[in-house]
Structure 1
């Protein structure tokens, strides 16, 4: 009857209340048959729970339980085997509670690390897309403000259309960042692809990279720049981490050229691949040769990421000529 009543409460009572009632009922039934056994089981359960919730309190309760067992057995012949047995009895629930506490702490630490990495990724995405889009728009507006307004209405409309396209791109990147913040990654699975699927994925990834380069090239061209933009070929699909890093770094390199380089001097950006590495090179001339240009916050973040996976990020600034040589592994998780 007691078990039936408890089962009936599962539908109306909270889960923790039902579990507590089941535990109390179980100990009550044990008490009817063996009070000493019930006390022992309840003590061991308390040690395990305290060790899980508060490890120091659990250790203290285990010591108290050992002292109580020792005092209870003092009237009998207390042998070394009895002492070892009592130690094991107290250590088992203590170890169980400690182990569960450590497991929970590791899971919480892993969740906190993932959250921090997601935030850093989102911050990098915001910097590399939205802020660069807005910076380019400011450059175009500044360029237009220093020139006489065009008498040709069609040319004026084209300028407005260009600025509107930049704003639309920034808005689209904003929506992407919002979706990224709302998205919860599920468990990743490895899917074996056929040769045809592999070639298709390689072509899609190369097109994504080429679209970024051509878009940035067009932006620089509208600001009066001329240069070389070279994208090499790769045989195997890039991992999502590598592709994401490469896309963001290209956007940042081109944004730096637009902000700091001299449009009257040729620039160059090349991306090549070998069997194990991605190699990115960039060079341009500074607007003012007397200014020493560092990396800035954007590229500095990329340097930290690349060096953390055993990559290299070498920058030289010689007589106003700025260049960067960047190498990072193809198969490392970033």
Structure 2
């Protein structure tokens, strides 16, 4: 009886281990299958973006270039330049999305990315400069004048995610100024870089909405609300104040995603 009990217990332990192994294998297989499905979906999306969106944007750029060569009016040419630059910018970001969707991160690729971080930093600075120039021309065409001050350049440690967030925020910020700013008064935007983060600051007068309605929600009634969530999820800070006639904003975007923010992001995904 004693030996039989020992054998039964041993068999139970072996069975338990086997069942645990099967469950783990099943879970790993399911996770791998889900990963493969997600990668295939990303490849299909990337293919559609490449075959349709990038081609359409390229056509727009070519058509605008053709129109510009046949327009004698300088003011109209400047407006066409804005349309062209907007399409080129959208084309570049679409291609970046395609590369991201098609990427399969490996240690070798990560090492390569670290080795070219300074090149990426310089490219980010050039892209931001083009974005700022285009946005300023757009506001100028709307009759708005202002100053944009840029101090320093992106640190080599700035990730592509942080740089993309920065670019999108700047575009949305200028759009917000155009929609809600007082066109008769100058705006101010300041962009600076520290060793740890990028900083965007702005102050501008808000135009009167009329009929007794103030425009004191200028920073919240637009896509900036979404960017506030993105910045905070990235571990950044967002400070703004708004009175009846003036709106100010200061945003800090870390060069890299802090560990606490990264852990919180994975907790939400889980």
Larger Rg, first or second structure (1 or 2):
1
1:248–1:105 Cα change, 3 Å: same
Q: Which residue of 2 aligns with 1:88?
A: 13
**Structure 2 CA distance, aligned partners of 1:90 and 1:181?**
48
Is contact 1:261-1:287 (8 Å) kept?
A: yes
Structure-1 residue corresponding to 2:135: 216
**In structure 1, which of residues 186, 189, 192 is the aligned counterpart of residue 104 of structure 2?**
186
How much has 1:316 moved relative to structure 2?
0.9
The residue correspondences of 1:293-332 to structure 2 (distance < 5 A) are: 293=217, 294-332=219-257
What's the TM-score once normalised by structure 1's chain length? 0.56
Q: CA deviation at 1:300?
A: 1.4
Worse-matched range after superposition: 311-320 or 84-93 = 84-93
TM-score, normalised with respect to structure 2: 0.68
Structure 2 counterparts to residues 1-334 of structure 1, below 5 A: 79-107=4-32, 154-155=72-73, 158-172=74-88, 175-176=91-92, 179=95, 180=97, 183-187=101-105, 188-191=109-112, 193=115, 201-234=120-153, 236-237=155-156, 238-288=158-208, 290-293=214-217, 294-332=219-257
Residues 176, 309 of structure 1: alpha-carbon distance in 2 compared, 3 angstrom cutoff: closer
Question: Mind listing any 5+ residue stretches in structure 1 that lack a counterpart?
Answer: 1-75, 120-125, 131-152
Question: Aligned to 2:104, what secondary structure does the other structure show?
Answer: coil
| Higher RCO by CA contacts (8 Å cutoff, separation 6 or greater) | 2
Contact 1:206–1:233 (8 Å) recurs in 2: no
- The answer (yes or no) to whether the contact 2:82–2:137 under 8 Å persists in 1 is no
Cα displacement (A) at 1:161: 3.2
Q: Secondary structure of 1:332's match?
A: coil
Change (3 A) 1:102 1:203: same
CA distance in 1, matches of 2:2, 2:195: 74
Distance 2:37 2:202 in 1: 36
Alignment partner of 1:209: what SS?
helix
Note the aligned Cα RMSD (angstroms): 3.3
Contact 2:191 2:200 (8 Å CA) reproduced = yes
Structure 1 residue 252 displacement after superposition? 0.4
TM-superposed CA distance for 1:172, in Å, is: 4.2
CA distance in 2 between counterparts of 1:113 and 1:303 reads 28
Q: Deviation of residue 95 (structure 1)?
A: 1.1
TM-aligned CA distance change 1:107 to 1:173, over 3 Å: farther
Q: Quick one: structure 1 residues 171 and 216, their matched pair in 2 at CA, closer, same or farther if it must change by over 3 Å?
A: closer
CA distance in 2, matches of 1:210, 1:303: 22
The more displaced of 215-224 and 171-180 is: 171-180
With over 3 angstroms needed to count, the CA separation of the structure-2 counterparts of 1:107 and 1:303, relative to structure 1, is: farther
Residue-by-residue CA offset, 1:64-117 (whole Å, 9 max, x unaligned): xxxxxxxxxxxx76633112211123223311221022224445676789989x
Q: Deviations over 1:114-170 (max 9, x none)?
A: 989xx9xxxxxx9xxx9xxxxxxxxxxxxxxxxxxxxxx943xx3443444444445
